[in-house]
């Protein structure tokens, strides 16, 4: 017997319109017994600006460390890549890190940046075409975690995937395995992937990176409430919520939460959501891996671990993965 009526499963009328997806994600997340919101919702214009600011914070080591690793080993990372290869980047944003790789791949055939932001793609294309006039920049405006296809005319070329930033850490280990598997199929038959992965380390250092003294990460987290207020006529009182970052050593992840300081109810259009004092909205997971742990996950997704580059403080890792070729041969 099916008790759930179809009507209950359908989206309520209130969330029709251009921001339907945002509204649906927010209402779904806040309706759960343990409230959560997907971390991709952080990145409205202000959120993207605040993230850029985070990458420059003294406590936030991942960005500058990864850039230093890429800069120190770019030639080695690029070695073995065909001149006729295609570079495919997942979540390319401003493509700043890509330039480091491209400077060592001067005859590369094409670059396919994949990002949800059409503005970022356009801006990156303009800048890269100017600096590398022979490079064909072929952007795809899409969420890289959704099914996608590369332009068919690039079919025969060797594919080098690039997935920096430890964005893989936002996915659960299971989801990371699924995503790495999908990337392997996209880059088939003889793909390679360069992926940035944040390393396990002292819990205090991890928490500081996600709860900085200047309060930029707090502003980044709480901006989600401002966004809901603006785009969905929400009634969140920003002074009644606070930012929290914790490290869960069992899960191996930093969690960001928005904590309700008091008992309260918040309206979003015509829906009310109750918060008890201390109740949280879980807004982000950022998994941290040892080198071996990450390689194990990659193996279960059909990748063979290749070279690994790390900084001398053991903060961050850049992995080379090589497709095991199984099940991806051209037919
Ligand atoms: C963009 C996923 C790499 O998890 O470190 C930074 C996002 N959140 N500070 C991360 C983030 C809070 C970031 N990634």
Give 220 or 17, the one with higher predicted confidence: 220
Q: What is the mean pLDDT of residues 91-103?
A: 94
Query: Tell me, what's the pLDDT at 325?
Result: 86
Instruction: Give residue 107 CA to ligand 1 midpoint distance, Å.
Output: 33
With a 6 Å cutoff on the Cβ, whether 167 touches ligand 1 is yes
Average pLDDT score over the chain: 93
- Asked if 170 and 285 touch (Cβ cutoff 8 Å), the reply is yes
Nearest CA to ligand 1 atom 2: 167
With a 6 Å cutoff on the Cβ, whether 165 touches ligand 1 is yes
How far, in Å, CA of 217 to CA of 234, rounded?
22
Angle at CA of residue 193, ends 191 and 198, nearest 5°:
165
The tens digit of pLDDT for each residue in 203-252 reads: 999 999 999 999 999 999 999 999 999 999 999 999 999 999 999 999 99
The tens digit of pLDDT for each residue in 242-287 reads: 999 999 999 999 999 999 999 999 999 999 999 999 999 999 999 9
* Helix or strand holding residue 228 (H, E): helix 216-232
How far, in Å, CA of 230 to CA of 212, rounded?
26
Nearest CA to ligand 1 atom 12: 210
With a 6 Å cutoff on the Cβ, whether 54 touches ligand 1 is yes
pTM for the model: 0.92
How far, in Å, CA of 72 to CA of 49, rounded?
27
Instruction: Give residue 286 CA to ligand 1 midpoint distance, Å.
Output: 7
Nearest CA to ligand 1 atom 1: 167
Q: Look at strands 110-115 and 86-90 and give their pairing.
A: parallel
Nearest CA to ligand 1 atom 8: 210
Dihedral Cα 63, 64, 69, 75, nearest 10 deg: 90
The tens digit of pLDDT for each residue in 168-181 reads: 999 999 999 999 99
CA–centroid distance for 81 within its chain: 25
Nearest CA to ligand 1 atom 10: 286
């Amino acid at each position: 017997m099916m008790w759930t009526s179809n009507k209950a499963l359908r989206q309520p009328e209130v969330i029709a319109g251009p921001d339907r997806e945002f509204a649906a994600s927010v209402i779904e997340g806040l309706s759960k017994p343990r409230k959560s919101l997907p971390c991709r919702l952080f990145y409205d214009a202000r959120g993207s600006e605040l993230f850029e600011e985070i990458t420059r914070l003294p406590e936030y080591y991942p960005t500058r460390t990864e850039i230093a690793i890429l800069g120190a080993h770019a030639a080695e990372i690029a070695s073995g890549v065909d001149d006729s290869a295609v570079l495919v980047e997942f979540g390319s944003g401003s493509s700043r890190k890509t330039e480091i790789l491209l400077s060592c791949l001067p005859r590369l055939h094409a670059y396919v940046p994949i990002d949800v932001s059409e503005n970022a793609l356009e801006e990156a294309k303009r800048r890269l075409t100017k600096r590398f006039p022979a490079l064909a920049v072929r952007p795809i405006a899409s969420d890289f975690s959704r099914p996608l296809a590369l332009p068919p005319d690039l079919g025969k070329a060797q594919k080098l995937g690039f997935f920096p930033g430890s964005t893989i850490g936002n996915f659960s280990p299971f989801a990371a395995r699924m995503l790495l598997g999908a990337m392997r199929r996209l880059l088939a038959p003889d793909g390679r992937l360069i992926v940035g992965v944040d390393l396990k380390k002292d819990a205090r250092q991890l928490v500081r990176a996600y709860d900085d003294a200047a309060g930029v990460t707090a502003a980044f987290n709480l901006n989600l409430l401002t966004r809901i207020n603006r785009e969905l006529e929400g009634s969140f009182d920003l002074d009644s919520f606070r930012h929290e970052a914790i490290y869960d050593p069992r899960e191996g992840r930093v969690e960001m939460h928005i904590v309700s300081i008091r008992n309260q109810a918040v309206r979003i259009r015509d829906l009310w959501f109750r918060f008890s004092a201390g109740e949280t909205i879980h807004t982000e997971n950022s998994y941290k891996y040892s080198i071996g742990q990450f390689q194990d996950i990659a193996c279960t997704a059909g990748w063979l671990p290749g070279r690994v580059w790390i900084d001398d403080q053991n903060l961050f890792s850049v992995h080379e993965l090589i497709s095991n070729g199984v099940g991806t041969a051209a037919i």
